Amino acid sequence: MNDPLYQKLRETGWRRKLTASEEAELRAWLEAHPEAKAGWKTEAGLNDILGRLPDAPVSSNFTARVLSRLDGMEREIAAGSRRRESKWNWLWHPLLPKAALAAMAFCIGVFTYREVATVRQAELAQSVATVSEVVSLPGPEILQDFEVIRQLNTAPRPDDELLALLK
| 165 vs 155, residue with greater confidence | 165
SS (H, E, C) the chain: CCCHHHHHHHHHHHHCCCCHHHHHHHHHHHHHCHHHHHHHHHHHHHHHHHHHCCCCCCCCCHHHHHHHHHHHHHHHHHHHHHHHHHHHHHHHCCHHHHHHHHHHHHHHHHHHHHHHHHHHHHHHHHHHHHHHHCCCCCCHHHHHHHHHHHHHCCCCCCCHHHHHHHC
Q: Check whether 87 has a pLDDT greater than 80.
A: no
Q: How confident is the model at residue 81 (pLDDT cuts 50, 70, 90)?
A: low
When mean pLDDT is compared over 37-51, 66-80, 105-119, the highest value belongs to: 105-119
**b/e per residue, 79-98, with b = 16+ CB within 10 A?**
eeeeeeeeeeeeeeeeeeee
> What is residue 92's predicted lDDT score, i.e. its pLDDT?
67
Region 148-158: mean pLDDT is 73
